Structure 1
Amino acid sequence: MSDRTVKVPQGLEITSNNQSTLKVQGFTVVESCTRTRGKQGSMFLDDHLLLFVLEGIYKIHFGNQTYIVRKNEMVLLQRAIVIHYEKSGEPNKDYSLEYMMFFLKDELLKEFIKMSNIKFTQPSELVPVLIHPVNVRLQKYIESIKPYFNESEKIEDSLVRIKLLELLFDIASEKESMMQQLLQLKQQVRSNLSMIIEENIMNPVSIKDLAYLSGRSLSSFKRDFQSIYNMPPSKWIQQRRLEKAKELLTYTAMSVTDVCFTTGFENATHFSKVFKDYFGCPPSSLKQELS
C-alpha cells in the first residue's frame, strides 16, 4: 500500500490507549505516549506545529534533509508543508516514546503579538524546520499542562487558550531565535508561483495553502495563477492530478484507493466521480480493463 499523507491536526487518529487531545476553539494540543520500535508516516500540516519530545526519538524528513529531535528538544514546523516522520522509542526503556504537539493557528500568533509588543526583526533566513533544546522552564510548562488531558471535558476553552499564550511567552523569554522564526511565519516571502505549484501538486493542499506558501493573498494568488496558466487554479490542479492518476492506474499495480490519496485527493468517492467526468469511465473500470 502507498504511503497516505494525513492532514493534521484534523486527520490525527485518536486512540484511548496512547494518545489524548485538548481541542478548543479550533486549537489543538496532542499528547502521545506509546511503545514502538519504529513507526513511519507522512503529515500535511494545516497549522504551525511545535513538537516537544519527552522520551524517545522523532525523525523528520523534509525535502532532502533529515532532522532528529531527541529527548528534551523541540522542533518548530511551519504550516502548509508535507513532512515524513519516523518515531522510535528508547531501547533501554522498553521502547517508550512520549511527545506533545501544539498546533498554532495564525489567529493565536496575532493575539500574542498584540499582547507581547515584541519587536520584530527579520531573521537572516526563514527555515521550515527549526530544532532547539528545551530548558527547565519549558519542561515545567509541559508538566503543568499534562493534568489537563485527564479531564479535558471539564477544562474551559479560555483556559487552554491562556496556556497556549503562556507557552509563547515562555519561548519568547528564552528562545529569541525561535520566537523570531515563529513571528516570521506571518511574513511569508513572495515565492516563485510555478515552483510552489509543481512542488505541491500531489499533496493534499488547498488553494489557500498554496497562496500562503507563495507569499500571496488568496486573491493575488488566483490572479497571478490565471495570468500564468490561463485557467483557474482549482480546475488546472484537478486536471493535473487526474492525468497523473490515470498514469499510475495504467502503469503501476497501485489500487484505486492508493492512487486517490497519492495524487492529492482526500475522498475516494469524489475522486471516482471527477475521474469519470473527465475521462468518461470510473477508475475502477479502467483498472479492470487493464487487468
Structure 2
Amino acid sequence: MTKDTLCTRQVDCSLCPKVSEGTLAYRQYPQGQHFSAEKCTQNCMIFVIKGELLINSNEYPGTTLQSRQCVLQAIGSKMELLALTDVEYIAYWFTELPLLCEDRYKEILERSEAPLTYTPLIANAKLERLLHDIVDYFKEQPSACGKYLDLKRQELVYILTCYYPLRQISTFFYPISTYTESFHYFIMQNYDKVKNVEEFAHLGGYTTTTFRRLFKNMYNVPVYEWILDKKREGILNDLQFTKQRVSVISARYGFDSLSHFAHFCKDSFGDTPRALRKRAASGEKITIIKEKGDDSAREQADRED
C-alpha cells in the first residue's frame, strides 16, 4: 500500500535574495494574543484559516472573523486584533495590487459603494484552495522564495477580482477607493501648512518612506518637486494679486531669510520679489521659469528633506 507524501523542493531558498519580503505572511498565534490599535502603513487583507480572530476597526468594530472569512483594511485606518482562540491567518500587505486584469479592477472601483454594514468576505472554493496551498508552502520551511510568492499574490488578486460577483467584490474593495479620495483631500488641504516632507508625513501619521511612496503612486512625481511647484504658484499669486508684505509671504512659505526668498524668486521667476511686484503692477504677466529654478528647487528640497 502506497502512502502519498508532500513533495519537497530540492534547493535552499535561504541563499536567494528576498523579493517583496514580508508582504505575504502566514501567522499563528495562541489564544489571548493581542495587537493594540495602530494605523496601517499599507493596505492589508486578512484571511483567517483556523480559529477566531477579533478585529476592531472603523469598518469592522468588534467583528469576530472565523475560518474562510476575509477583510480588507485601507492604509491609514486603525486596526486592533485579538486571538479569541488559537488562530492561523494569512496577512497580505500592499500599496498597489499586482493586477492581471486591470479593466475588471477599474470596473470594481467604479461600482464600489459604501455598505450599510461591513461584513467579511467568504472565501470561495477556488480562493480557499489557494490559501491552504500558501499555508502549506510556508510550513515547508522558514525561508520562502519571494518570486514564488509574487506569483501567488497575482493569483490571489486575480481570484478576488475575477471570481466574485461584481456587486459583492466592489463592497470588499470599497475602503481602498475611499482612501484614495481621502489621501488626495489630505494633500490638497495641508500642503501649504508644512515646510518639508517629514513634517507632511508626520501630519498624516505616516512614515516618511511610506508617504513618499504613496504620493509618487498618486501624483507620479516626487513629493518635494510637487511641493515646490505649489510653492511657486502660491508665491507668484501672492506677489501679483495681494498687498501682503514680502516678509510675510517669505515666512508663510517657510524661508529662513529674505535673502533666501529673493534667491528663490530669481531662480523661479527671473527677478526679486519687489521687482516682480513692480512688473506685475505695470501689467506684465509673470511666469514660472522652471528651467532656471530646477537646480535651486532641488537644493532647497534636499535641505528640507
Shorter-chain TM band? 0.5 to 0.7
AA partner of residue 201 (structure 1):
L
Give 1:33's match in structure 2, choosing from 28, 31, 37: 28
Give 2:99's match in structure 1, choosing from 112, 115, 123: 112
Aligned pair in 2 of structure 1 residues 171, 203: CA closer, same or farther (>3 Å)? same
Q: Which runs of 5+ in 2 are unaligned?
A: 1-16, 194-199, 236-251, 256-305
Q: CA deviation at 1:51?
A: 0.6
1:77 corresponding residue in structure 2 = 73
| Identity value in percent | 10
Distance 1:224 1:149 in 2: 47
Give 2:86's match in structure 1, choosing from 68, 87, 96: 96
1:46 corresponding residue in structure 2 = 41
Equivalent positions of 1:1-291 (< 5 A) are 24-27=18-21, 28-37=23-32, 39-54=34-49, 55-62=51-58, 66=61, 68-71=63-66, 72-79=68-75, 81-89=76-84, 95-106=85-96, 109=97, 111-113=98-100, 117-118=103-104, 120-121=106-107, 122-125=110-113, 131-152=120-141, 155-175=144-164, 176=166, 177-178=168-169, 181=173, 188-189=180-181, 190-193=184-187, 194=189, 201=203, 203-206=205-208, 209=211, 212=214, 216=219, 218=223, 219-220=225-226, 223-224=229-230, 227=234, 230-231=253-254
Distance 2:114 2:202 in 1: 19
Q: CA deviation at 1:38?
A: 5.7
Note the alpha carbon deviations across 1:125-173, whole angstroms, 9 max, x for none. Answer: 479x873122222221111111221345664332211111111111122
Is the Cα–Cα contact under 8 Å of residues 42 and 82 in structure 1 kept in the other structure?
no
Aligned pair in 2 of structure 1 residues 156, 216: CA closer, same or farther (>3 Å)? closer
Highest Rg: 1 or 2?
2
Is the Cα–Cα contact under 8 Å of residues 47 and 71 in structure 2 kept in the other structure?
yes
Distance 2:207 2:77 in 1: 9
Aligned pair in 2 of structure 1 residues 84, 112: CA closer, same or farther (>3 Å)? closer
2:271 corresponding residue in structure 1 = none
Q: CA deviation at 1:30?
A: 1.7
Aligned pair in 2 of structure 1 residues 162, 186: CA closer, same or farther (>3 Å)? farther
Is the Cα–Cα contact under 8 Å of residues 59 and 69 in structure 1 kept in the other structure?
yes
Distance 2:147 2:120 in 1: 29
Which has more strand, going by share of residues? 1
AA partner of residue 111 (structure 2):
P
**3-state SS of 2:185 partner:** coil
The number of aligned residues is 198
Which has more helix, going by share of residues? 2
Normalized against structure 1, the TM-score is what? 0.53
Aligned pair in 2 of structure 1 residues 62, 134: CA closer, same or farther (>3 Å)? same
Is the Cα–Cα contact under 8 Å of residues 211 and 221 in structure 1 kept in the other structure?
no
**3-state SS of 2:104 partner:** coil
Is the Cα–Cα contact under 8 Å of residues 53 and 83 in structure 2 kept in the other structure?
yes
Note the alpha carbon deviations across 1:194-219, whole angstroms, 9 max, x for none. Answer: 37989963734327528848964534
**3-state SS of 1:58 partner:** strand
Q: CA deviation at 1:187?
A: 9.0
Distance 1:221 1:152 in 2: 46
Note the alpha carbon deviations across 1:15-54, whole angstroms, 9 max, x for none. Answer: xxxxxxxx94124222122222362413333332111123
Aligned pair in 2 of structure 1 residues 182, 149: CA closer, same or farther (>3 Å)? farther
Q: Which runs of 5+ in 1 are unaligned?
A: 1-22, 90-94, 233-291
